[in-house]
Amino acid sequence: MTESHLLGNYNRFPVEFTSGEGVWLTDSRGNRYLDFLSGIAVNGFGTGHPEITAAVLKQLNGVWHTSNLFESAGQKELASVLASKSGLEKVFFCNSGTEANEAAIKFARKWGQGRYHIITAQGGFHGRTMGSLSASGQPKLWNGFFPLVYGFTSVQFGSVEAIRAAITSETVAVMLEPIQGENGILLPPAGYLKAVREVCDEFNLLLILDEVQSGMGRTGKWFAFQHEELKPDILTLAKGIANGFPLGAVICTEPVGACIKPGDHGSTFGGNPVAVAAALAVSTLLTEDILDGNLALGEYLRSELASADLPEIAEIRGLGLMTGIQLKPGTSARALASSLLEQGIVTGTSGDSVLRLLPPFLITRTEIDLFVSQLAAVFEASESRGVAV
């Protein structure tokens, strides 16, 4: 193999997937794999979905790009779907999760008319560009990149009191993930988001919810916040919105949207017609049946994992098809994901000690059973060899 000129910023597994169908992927050597990752919560409708592919092909035969200097019927249609599903009003399209969060931060500052301070959560993850990175409450991600963007304070995730204590006269917003995806699929206590909403109302702060990972049906609702009775002021999306085409979105209330005037923000590629065509196909496929299925399948997965009673597992947590398996000390998530890959199962990790499961929505109970038995087999093989996974 020739020496790679790719930057060494990813720790890649030595496998390349070259084709796939539904929840199955095939690598360049012809090996088949069961997909329990969906390209990190992206391909909810799996690989090669005929309706999404048809929508994309149709658009590829039309225009690929015209820029945001001109009208876009597709963007209008998708914005109307996202507004009606979220209960919010205005939509801005970009290309990724970090960009959606950058825009959300700018929108909040514009709305705040001088107030700029945003309270975030420790362990939170909002992206890698400087604003989103500064909003991410994970100091290990900051090393080497100081100074951060000024004006963020991260407080304990799950504590409403910690938010209250961090509010100053400069505070404009609270920015959170309803479920911390990059922090081990961590769920806050029940009622937390609603209580945060109340604090935001009390102090005239915006509530920004980052549903880049938890949104677009993954938890069994269009958006994870809909498991509680509340609405954010700003909602950010990306990942699953277009099943693998780069697209991000910021959805906000009318008053927040009204602050943004021509020239305040923009993106050359944001809302690209091909990505929007894919997203419109996704939105049609995301039916109540699929949403209910995601909730039930996730519960089935976690209950089967619990029944398997695997000694290496400390905790199993999640909602819908977002599941984190907290491993006991001595078991490395990376080594486990690597062993599972050798056995034909694609999984992810979150930190050093959490195996992250984000299967496509098309997964069946039989495939979940297969995953659980393979996981048990990998643990058993490592015990019998006397080596830790």
Ligand X SMILES: Cc1ncc(COP(=O)(O)O)c(C=O)c1O
Would you name the residues annotated as active-site residues? 125, 210, 239
- How far apart CA 171 and CA 188 sit, in angstroms, is 22
Q: How many CB atoms lie within 10 A of CB 247?
A: 28
Question: Which residue of 127, 217, 298, 318 would you call a contact of ligand X, by CB under 6 A?
Answer: 127
- How far apart CA 352 and CA 179 sit, in angstroms, is 18
| 98 lines the binding site for ligand X (CB under 6 A) | yes
Using the minimum distance from each CB to ligand X, give the nearer residue, 278 or 310. Answer: 278
Using the minimum distance from each CB to ligand X, give the nearer residue, 186 or 310. Answer: 186
Q: What single string gives the DSSP state of each residue in 185-223?
A: SBPPPTTHHHHHHHHHHHHT-EEEEE-TTTTTTTTSSSS
Question: Which residue of 27, 102, 177, 367 would you call a contact of ligand X, by CB under 6 A?
Answer: 177
Q: Minimum CB separation from ligand X for residue 132, in Å?
A: 7
R_g of the chain, CA atoms, integer Å: 21
| 359 lines the binding site for ligand X (CB under 6 A) | no
- How far apart CA 297 and CA 17 sit, in angstroms, is 25
- How far apart CA 299 and CA 385 sit, in angstroms, is 32
Q: Minimum CB separation from ligand X for residue 209, in Å?
A: 10
β-partners of residue 251 are: 91, 235
| 181 lines the binding site for ligand X (CB under 6 A) | yes
| 182 lines the binding site for ligand X (CB under 6 A) | yes
Q: Minimum CB separation from ligand X for residue 202, in Å?
A: 26
Find the residue with minimal CB distance to ligand X. Answer: 97
Candidates 123-131, 315-323, 326-334, 362-370; binding stretch for ligand X (CB under 6 A):
123-131
Alpha-helical regions (H) of the chain: 38-41, 50-60, 73-86, 97-112, 130-135, 139-142, 160-166, 192-203, 254-258, 273-285, 288-308, 333-342, 365-385
CB 123 within 8 A of CB 137: yes
- Report cis status (omega within 30 of 0) of the bond before 147: yes
Question: Which residue of 75, 122, 213, 226 would you call a contact of ligand X, by CB under 6 A?
Answer: 213
Question: Which residue of 39, 44, 74, 97 would you call a contact of ligand X, by CB under 6 A?
Answer: 97
Size of the site for ligand X (CB under 6 A): 14
β-partners of residue 383 are: none
Q: How is residue 314 written in tokens?
A: 């400390």
Which residues 222-241 are close enough to bind ligand X by CB under 6 A?
238
What is the total residue count of the chain? 389
| Phi (first) and psi of residue 97, to 5 degrees | -70, -45
Tokens 């398997």 found at: 308
| 210 lines the binding site for ligand X (CB under 6 A) | yes
Question: Which residue of 37, 212, 277, 282 would you call a contact of ligand X, by CB under 6 A?
Answer: 212
Candidates 106-114, 145-153, 177-185, 293-301; binding stretch for ligand X (CB under 6 A):
177-185
Q: Minimum CB separation from ligand X for residue 192, in Å?
A: 16
Candidates 94-102, 107-115, 260-268, 337-345; binding stretch for ligand X (CB under 6 A):
94-102
Question: Which residue of 126, 218, 302, 356 would you call a contact of ligand X, by CB under 6 A?
Answer: 126
Residues that bind ligand X (CB under 6 A): 96-98, 101, 125-127, 177, 181-182, 210, 212-213, 238
